[in-house]
Chain A
Amino acid sequence: MAMLEVHSVKKSFGALEVLKGVDLRVEQGDVVAILGPSGSGKTTLLRCMNFLERADGGEMVFDGERFPLERISKKDVARLRRKTAFVFQNYNLFRNKTALQNVTEGLIVARKMPKGQALDIARRALAKVGLSDREDHYPSQLSGGQQQRVAIARAIATDPEIIYFDEPTSALDPELTGEVLAVMRELAREGMTMLVVTHEMSFARNVSNRVIFLERGAVVEEGDAKSFFQSPREERTRAFLRTLSGEEHTEKESET
């Protein structure tokens, strides 16, 4: 049985139908990359799955429990959020808290953990993302890459069953994406279950084990990462991958 499944997730903003009934399955230990052109609904899907947006329809099965997405109770939302973590595109670190406090906040306040224990966990989490020497820095004193690593530390500290990543490197300067991707690779290696909306093809290709290609609010193709990139079945997937490799070429040319 899959750890997490969603069925026919639907979401519209006004007249715009952003998700037209998306299915998704995540097994424990999976690193699933969600790819797709901008406006395809990737981010909305992820936000619906953590109830930052209320879906108009669909169902979630989490650890065998069923939840109707459009009328899930507040209590269930709170319970599910305690099993998950979310890493935002623009980090969203608490601006009035230091790096260390950003990590302990969810432990002490939301989980009522004793302060000493929370500090231990937070220090370990910050060490893991390589920021032990930045504990007392406020977000405004950190680079984008460092902020995103603190955000990842904040996510792993709560010992989630799955971490959702919403384009975690898109807001970063190109030279800073590497440090964040390295941390994510390490997490994947340790068996963390991750659902990653991304534009980083190298990450999708080399780190994720499954890929879902979304276009205009529907899944076009999904499969294991190797065959997705080596032998995509759908013409639209091939077209998408061609545009991307084209972009990569032009980027490289313009750099030289």
Chain B
Amino acid sequence: MTEGLWSLLVDSFWQILLPGLTMTLPLTAVSFTFALIIAIAVALVQFARLPVLRHLARFYIWVIRGTPLLVQLFVVFYGLPHVGVLIDAVPAAILVFSINEGAYCAETIRAALESVPPGQMEAGQCVGMSYLQVIRRIVLPQAMRTAFPTLANSLIAMVKDTSLAANITVTEMFMVTQRIVAWSYEPLALYIEVGLIYLLFCTVLTKVQHFGEKKLQTYGYQGG
């Protein structure tokens, strides 16, 4: 490897890592938080079989899971301005990532809710708790524990999906890398480099996931 390429990689490492820390990770964290809120609501609406809302929930999941994330980003950022709805790049990215991830996580949480034995709800109601009290204190906590590994998986996938935001002018890691490639003409080395930084982020998150799963091994259950 030439000395020039080496110093390019070292310099660009920090140039790429910085938007990783200030954009990619915050974008992921904020979007995933909103996604979880949406997902819990959408899952509960279906679990409780609420008349109209559960059909809306199914429609939402059907549309979002059936269309590409990139298309959703383009619709919101390039499409909506044509009908007068202008959203800045970062808020548009947060909006789309939240709604998109929310649909997938909703299915995870719904499945986890349905895996809680019905006897838990019956017992809760028999000690006098209302339906919502049992959901909040008994059923949902058990479901979230079940859903945790799958949700962590979705979070890790989302870190990488944020690279799509480069297409709607969000200055995140991948966009910065593209810019460096544009003047340095070193696409192979630089794209591998940004890939490794994503890998680094995801490795850390995987460690956090394993730590979290260990911590969650409460309720007296042994083993994984």
Q: Which residues of A contact B (CB under 8 A)?
A: 50, 52, 78, 81-82, 84-86, 88, 90, 92-97, 105-106, 109-111, 137-141, 154, 158
How many B residues have CB within 8 A of the partner chain? 22
Q: Which residue of B lies closest to A110 (CB)?
A: B128
CB of B26 closer than 8 Å to a CB of A = no
A95-B219, A97-B138, A138-B219 provided; 7 other pairs, C-beta below 8 A?
A: A78-B128, A81-B128, A85-B126, A88-B122, A90-B119, A92-B123, A94-B123
Q: How far is the CB of A162 from chain B (nearest CB, A)?
A: 12
Mostly helix, strand, loop or mixed at chain B's interface?
Answer: helix
Interface string of B189-224 (1 = CB under 8 A from A): 000000000000000000000000000001111000
Q: Which residue of B lies closest to A101 (CB)?
A: B137
The winner among A95, A139, A141, A158 for most chain B CB atoms within 10 A is A95
Q: Report if A106-B128 is in contact (Cβ < 8 Å); known contacts: A95-B142, A138-B218, A138-B220.
A: yes
CB of B145 closer than 8 Å to a CB of A = yes
A81 to B142, CA, bound (A): 24
Q: Which residues of B contact A (CB under 8 A)?
A: 117, 119-120, 122-130, 133, 137-138, 141-142, 145, 218-221
Which residues in A have their C-beta under 8 angstroms from that of B129?
A: 105-106, 109-110
A138 to B142, CA, bound (A): 13
Q: Report if A111-B122 is in contact (Cβ < 8 Å); known contacts: A95-B219, A96-B141.
A: no
Q: Report if A52-B128 is in contact (Cβ < 8 Å); known contacts: A96-B219, A139-B220.
A: no
Which residues in B have their C-beta under 8 angstroms from that of A86?
A: 122-123, 126
Q: Which residue of A lies closest to B116 (CB)?
A: A95
Contact A96 B142 (CB under 8 A): yes
Which residues in B have their C-beta under 8 angstroms from that of A88?
A: 119, 122-123
Partner of B127, one of A52, A105, A137: A105
Contact A94 B124 (CB under 8 A): yes
8 pairs, CB–CB < 8 Å, chain A vs chain B:
A52-B125, A81-B126, A85-B127, A105-B127, A106-B128, A138-B219, A140-B220, A140-B221
A140 to B221, CA, bound (A): 6
